[in-house]
Amino acid sequence: MLPVAVALVVLAGGGTAAWSLLGGDDGKPDARTAAVDGFLDAWARGDADRAGAHTDRPAAASARLTKLAEDLPARKVSLVRGAPTDQGGHRFRATFRLPGGGTWAYDSSAPVVRADGRWVVRWSPAVLHPRLTEGSELALRPDTGNRGELRAADGSPLGGLAPALVGSPGKSGLQYRYDKRLAGRPADSVAIVGTSTGRTLATLHTAEGRRGEPVRTTLDPAVQRAAEGALKGLDKNAAVVAVRPSTGEILAAADNPPTGANRSLRGRYAAGSDFKVITAAALIGKGVRGDTPVPCPRYERVNGQRFENQDLFALPAGSTFREGFARSCNTGIIGLRDRLDDDSLSEAAGWFGIGPEWNAGTTTYDGSVPRTTGENDKAAAMIGQGRVEASPLVMASVAATVKDGTFRQPVLVPDAAGKRAKATAPLPAGTAAELRSLMRAVVTEGSGEALRGLPGEPGAKTGTAEFGTDSPPRTHAWFIGYQGDLAFSVLIEDGGSGGADAGPVAAEFLEAVAAGG
């Protein structure tokens, strides 16, 4: 009976070897063929030590195979044993599925030698590839040139803008979320490189690449640069968000530190006194107006719990709701709690889009305003404390809703945003106009004096949000507002006062926008 060769296919990660018949009439593979099969099977399965044991230089072979798996991390390896060589070994065909897609195939051979009474593969680097030597190795040269771009609203590449939002490929941010669209198919190459120098000696294969698709965002480069510039120099975690009231487009999302967490869209904070915009909307629905007399004492007790104004300030007798709102009077707002029931604040929050899940084309924290449970919980919620939470994006959207009169869900990637959330109900008639009057008073006669003198009649609301268990409590600084068709929020973690600390950041931002970023 003549010798017969049958191909062996061995797959990475498992699979059953189809042993050839070569040599004996008893139907068993001869020992030389079995040595080659054992080597190829172990190599394809990623077992470098077992593959090395089928050679005359186990340690050297194992080390080389381990290094190859690191330098050429194939998704799949197929090894097909071919015809025998004149020296009793076997030719084989190796096929690598490359990480970026595509395959690379080549032919090599595994000679055999008898050592310690058995047949084994005679090891040299040329077994792995016929052009390898002791001083060279295989390496994957990744290609990033085919990755699609993340773009601004005007079509320009984002480049280094909004790094916390953009993230990195395969790890975080928009680069991670839209990886399949952006990645395309990289034109990776396989090369022979010098072991000691890493220098490319020969390129053996270059995959056929395919350009990834671009992803366009709503970010305005000039507004984004202005937001990032306003945060430079701060030694605290902070964020600036800008939204276009007429459309809901997110124009800027800046974070400090710039490569840290994405606080601007995903941060979760006590809303503090900026939430009084929503509380005011609820109270306006119950008949309160700007000229309604509302006392503003230094503190207000609710079932024994003491609520205070910042620095224990008080307003003179005869003060109005407008004056208290402008100065961010906690006690005056809380003193109106009897006008609201436990559903009032969560209902009013729904007018501003807080409650439904947003589909912005990126991960966002969309705020939480639970139904209150009792007088003390209601009192805390009315000033944005207790269980009321929001992100800088949410608070920028609150300002945008006041300016436009209609909640328009913020969006960052329009073609991926899907169905946009709607307000649970529109703002009651006249509410937006009353709120604009109140927010304008914050600038002209209250704690938003940082914007005083800027053009366009900006409106604002300052906020100080208590957090933690220290006494006195530590505070985040908030400042929200609008100017023309631009709404914004500023948050400084552990930042002190909204008016004194976040206000100047807001003013610097608006001035930079006016100057073109």
Confidence of residue 10 (pLDDT cuts 50, 70, 90): very low
Calculate mean pLDDT across residues 458-486: 95
Give the E-state strand segments of 195-303 in sequence order: 200-206, 215-216, 238-243, 250-256, 269-270, 299-302
Task: For 350-381, write each residue's pLDDT tens digit.
Answer: 999 999 999 999 999 999 999 999 999 999 99
Calculate mean pLDDT across residues 480-508: 97
More confident residue, 182 or 187: 182
- So what's the pLDDT on residue 240? 99
- So what's the pLDDT on residue 17? 34
What are the two backbone dihedrals, phi and then psi, of residue 446, each rounded to the nearest 5 degrees? -135, -150
pLDDT at 124 over 50: yes
Residues of the chain with pLDDT > 90, as a percent, come to 86
Distance CA 475, CA 489 (A): 16
- The length of the chain in residues reads 517
- So what's the pLDDT on residue 27? 40
By CB atoms closer than 10 A (0-12, 13-18, 19+), residue 380 is buried
- So what's the pLDDT on residue 13? 37
Residue with tokens 């671009």: 214
pTM here?
0.79
Structural contact between residues 11 and 76, judged by C-beta atoms closer than 8 angstroms? yes
pLDDT at 28 over 70: no
- So what's the pLDDT on residue 25? 38
Task: For 419-460, write each residue's pLDDT tens digit.
Answer: 999 999 999 999 999 999 999 999 999 999 999 999 999 999
CATH no., domain 8-131 = 3.10.450.100
Distance CA 446, CA 268 (A): 27
- Alpha-carbon dihedral 262, 266, 271, 275, rounded to 10 degrees: 120
Distance CA 463, CA 358 (A): 24
| 172: β partners | none
Distance CA 513, CA 479 (A): 17
Q: Report the phi/psi class of residue 3: left, alpha or beta, with left for phi > 0 and alpha for psi in -120 to 50.
A: beta
Task: For 272-304, write each residue's pLDDT tens digit.
Answer: 999 999 999 999 999 999 999 999 999 999 999
Structural contact between residues 467 and 476, judged by C-beta atoms closer than 8 angstroms? yes
- So what's the pLDDT on residue 208? 82
393 to 185, 417, 432: CA distances (angstroms): 34, 16, 19
Which of 186-190, 227-231, 449-453 comes out lowest in average pLDDT? Answer: 186-190
Task: For 304-351, write each residue's pLDDT tens digit.
Answer: 999 999 989 999 999 999 999 999 999 999 999 999 999 999 999 999
Structural contact between residues 48 and 65, judged by C-beta atoms closer than 8 angstroms? yes
Structural contact between residues 215 and 151, judged by C-beta atoms closer than 8 angstroms? yes
Confidence of residue 37 (pLDDT cuts 50, 70, 90): very high
Give the three-state DSSP class for 19: coil
pLDDT at 257 over 60: yes
By CB atoms closer than 10 A (0-12, 13-18, 19+), residue 244 is buried
Cα-to-chain-centroid distance, residue 119: 56
- CB atoms under 10 Å from CB of 377, counted, come to 19
- So what's the pLDDT on residue 250? 99
Nearest to 353 by CA among 425, 274, 280: 425
Q: Give residue limits of the domains in the chain.
A: 8-131, 150-213, 262-461
Nearest to 39 by CA among 99, 116, 121, 103: 121
What are the two backbone dihedrals, phi and then psi, of residue 292, each rounded to the nearest 5 degrees? -65, 125
Calculate mean pLDDT across residues 55-59: 98
Between strands 8-11 and 103-110, the pairing is unpaired
Distance CA 14, CA 472 (A): 63
pLDDT at 101 over 60: yes
Calculate mean pLDDT across residues 247-258: 98
Distance CA 448, CA 481 (A): 9
Nearest to 462 by CA among 331, 327, 335: 327
Cα-to-chain-centroid distance, residue 277: 29
Give the three-state DSSP class for 86: coil
Calculate mean pLDDT across residues 477-505: 97
Which contiguous run of DSSP H or E holds residue 71? helix 58-71
pLDDT at 12 over 90: no
- So what's the pLDDT on residue 18? 34
Confidence of residue 29 (pLDDT cuts 50, 70, 90): low
pLDDT at 202 over 50: yes
CATH no., domain 262-461 = 3.40.710.10
What order of strands is seen across the sheet that includes strand 200-206?
136-141, 189-194, 200-206
Which tokens go with 202?
Answer: 């020969």
Q: What is the mean pLDDT of the chain?
A: 92
Residue with tokens 């910042």: 310
What are the two backbone dihedrals, phi and then psi, of residue 102, each rounded to the nearest 5 degrees? 85, 165
Residues 6+ apart with CB under 8 A from 438: 277, 280, 290, 321, 322, 325, 326
By CB atoms closer than 10 A (0-12, 13-18, 19+), residue 363 is middle
275 to 210, 333, 345, 433, 437: CA distances (angstroms): 49, 11, 10, 17, 16
Distance CA 504, CA 292 (A): 31
Between strands 215-216 and 150-151, the pairing is parallel
